[in-house]
Amino acid sequence: MKRNLSFSLENGSPSEKFDDDGRALRTGTVMTASAHIITAVIGSGVLSLAWAIAQLGWIAGPIALVIFSLITWFTAVLLADCYRHPITGRRNHTYMDVGGLAWRSGLRTWKSAPFQVPGGIKIQLCGLAQYTNLFGTSIGYTITTAISMAAIKRSNCFHKYGHTAGCHTSNNLFMVIFAVTEIILSQIPNFNELSMLSIIAAVMSFTYSSIGLGLAIAKLAGRAHVKTSLTGIPVGDGVSSSQKIWNCFQALGNIAFAYSYSLVLVEIQASYSIFIRKSMLCQHKLFVQWRMSEHLSWREFPWCSKIVYWLFSKHLGTRTSGPTFCESKPDTLKSSPPENTVMKKATLIGISVSTVFYMLCGVVGYAAFGNGAPGNFLTGFGFYEPFWLVDFANVCIVVHLVGAYQVYSQPIFGFVECWCRKRWPGSGFIAREYPIPIPFIGTFSLNFFRLVLRTAYVILTTLIATIFPFFNDFLGLLGAACFWPLTVYFPVEMYISQARIRKFSLTWTWMQLLSLLCFIVSLLAAAGSIQGLIRSVQAFKPFQCKL
């Protein structure tokens, strides 16, 4: 929703429904931004960390967690600084917008990269990588949610009939239930309307992580005899040396997936609320127009107008002369407080909290289960009792991933809908909204194109999840495919373009080395995950998966 920003000189404020860039009013805060980040970061990846630590061992496992968290935080800070154009102040509302502006602006071409590819192709690859990984993550969350729902049914069966009972349950029914829920929630029109859903999901992530951690500590306190190792699962006992290597690579992919949230960082930042001294802005705009129209010199201005001029310029740091400002292009304005500063705080909070949980769940989980740690430590039935607590933890997983699915799907919805509106601007099917009053809630805006598109998207992700319901293998492949291009490579290149970093300078060199190392790690993780998928597919019949 866009419009040209117009100020009322009588009351000094724009419409309460619009922000300073003419878009719908942002309602996010540091708290909601942190909640979005925690929701995006602490997802199904936390459930596989005990297994990942078991593959890597006591030394490499925790070190890998710390390194991935530091790299993710660093590149997220770079990406936050690229949210606005450094000269014009123009906002970039999506991840792809950031790359497009950086590589088309002329500040720095793609010659800054180790290999040269036309900027237009790179922008398209950037968008393709982002939306492909968002799509894949939606599939992964569908798989994980169905597994947790099936685990609840199995847990009750084990409690009733004993731990030796079969209690095998098909995941397909639960995938359908999850799909119906997401079809309903997907009709939420705007990303910034998901604040409450995201906060609830963040609370759920804390809850099930805490329950899993508590159960692992209780199991550890029971002094159950388990085998652990400094180097992880040893070769032998059914594990060949080649399989050990493949599992280690796949474990890196699982850890990488746990930290792959940069692809929605810009969308989260775009939902942060902007607080601007609007009355001061209107006075200053009137002042500039007055000066331009009357051709007055600085000395001829009233002292009160000079104060307004000085306060506004100092507060917002904007350019205040020439036709650009008088045309009232709001993207030249600096927000107060700046979005990048807020996002850096939210990123630090979100990643720090997430890493603490990851470290505790991974390390304590490995200590509790040893080398036999399950791929999903809440659904692999390392715990049977208290069954009600295990059930509640899995319910929290379901609630959390219901919200996380929307966090990762909304950018795709927004991109496709925006592209279609521009491609067919006169289509009533695409653009027309039908207000539907809902008692005690308000008015719901129904759009048939949105209904069809988002429903088809959920059905497609559910269908693929039903065909390939492999938890660890799928998560490892997603992490490998997402981490280097979206978490490391593109943010680094965007920042190099925005900051005008010279080629072969010290900063440019070590950033490129960081990107190269992460690329190698992602390749190894992808190889391990693909090998695991091949092994799983060979012993699998589609649509017949049972937990």
Token representation of residue 459: 């059905």
At the topology level, CATH places domain 30-275+341-408+462-538 in Amino acid/polyamine transporter I (1.20.1740)
How much is the pLDDT for 20? Answer: 55
To the nearest 10°, the Cα dihedral for 73, 125, 452, 25? 50
In degrees, rounded to 5, the angle at the alpha carbon of residue 324 between the alpha carbons of residues 322 and 329 is 145
CA atoms of 12 and 17, how far apart (whole Å) = 15
In degrees, rounded to 5, the angle at the alpha carbon of residue 35 between the alpha carbons of residues 30 and 38 is 125
Q: Residue 118 gets which letter from DSSP?
A: -
SS3 state of residue 91: strand
* Predicted confidence pLDDT, tens digits, the chain (547 residues): 443 433 333 333 444 555 555 555 555 567 767 776 776 666 667 788 999 999 999 999 999 999 999 999 999 888 888 776 666 666 766 666 666 655 555 444 444 444 444 456 767 777 788 788 889 889 988 988 998 898 888 888 887 887 777 777 778 889 999 999 999 988 877 655 666 766 777 788 778 888 888 888 888 887 667 888 888 888 877 788 889 999 999 999 989 888 876 666 766 666 553 332 333 333 344 344 434 444 444 454 444 444 444 444 444 344 444 333 333 333 322 345 667 777 788 888 888 888 888 888 899 889 888 888 888 877 765 556 788 888 898 999 898 888 888 877 888 898 899 889 999 988 888 888 888 888 877 788 888 999 999 999 999 999 998 888 887 788 888 888 888 888 898 889 888 887 888 888 999 999 999 999 999 999 999 999 999 888 887 777 666 655 5
CA atoms of 489 and 497, how far apart (whole Å) = 12
Please count the other Cβ atoms lying within 10 Å of the Cβ belonging to residue 86: 15
Token representation of residue 23: 């878009």
Token representation of residue 189: 């029109």
Dihedral of alpha carbons 456, 457, 458, 461, sign? positive
Q: Going by C-beta distance under 8 Å and a sequence separation of 6 or more, which residues neighbour residue 492?
A: 75, 78, 511, 512, 514, 515
Q: Going by C-beta distance under 8 Å and a sequence separation of 6 or more, which residues neighbour residue 15?
A: none
Amino acid (one-letter) located at 391: D
HEC string for 431-482: HCCEEEEECCCEEEEECHHHHHHHHHHHHHHHHHHHHCCCHHHHHHHHHHHH
Q: What is the largest CA-CA distance in the chain?
A: 92
CA atoms of 119 and 275, how far apart (whole Å) = 35
CA atoms of 60 and 10, how far apart (whole Å) = 64
User: Burial, 529: exposed, middle or buried (Cβ in 10 Å; 0-12, 13-18, 19+)?
Assistant: buried
Helical spans, DSSP H, in 296-338: 303-316, 323-326
Dihedral of alpha carbons 472, 473, 475, 476, sign? positive
Token representation of residue 486: 């979206």
Amino acid (one-letter) located at 163: H
CA atoms of 398 and 178, how far apart (whole Å) = 9
CA atoms of 208 and 266, how far apart (whole Å) = 27
HEC string for 150-202: HHHHHHHHHHHHCCCCCCCCECHHHHHHHHHHHHHHCCCCCHHHHHHHHHHHH
**Residue reference for tokens 């070590």:** 510
CA atoms of 362 and 359, how far apart (whole Å) = 5
How much is the pLDDT for 59? Answer: 93
How much is the pLDDT for 66? Answer: 92
- Domain residues of the chain, as ranges? 30-275+341-408+462-538
Angle between helices 119-161 and 387-423 (to 10 degrees): 150
- Residue from 435, 520, 440 nearest 480 by CA: 520
CA atoms of 56 and 159, how far apart (whole Å) = 33
Q: Are 432 and 438 in contact (CB under 8 A)?
A: no
Q: Are 401 and 409 in contact (CB under 8 A)?
A: no
Token representation of residue 324: 């650009």
How much is the pLDDT for 252? Answer: 93
Angle between helices 49-81 and 241-258 (to 10 degrees): 40
Amino acid (one-letter) located at 210: S
SS3 state of residue 146: helix
CA atoms of 536 and 375, how far apart (whole Å) = 13
CA atoms of 511 and 517, how far apart (whole Å) = 10
Phi, psi of 170 (to 5 degrees): -75, 140
Using alpha carbons, list the distances in angstroms from residue 169 to 156, 157, 263, 536: 12, 10, 34, 18
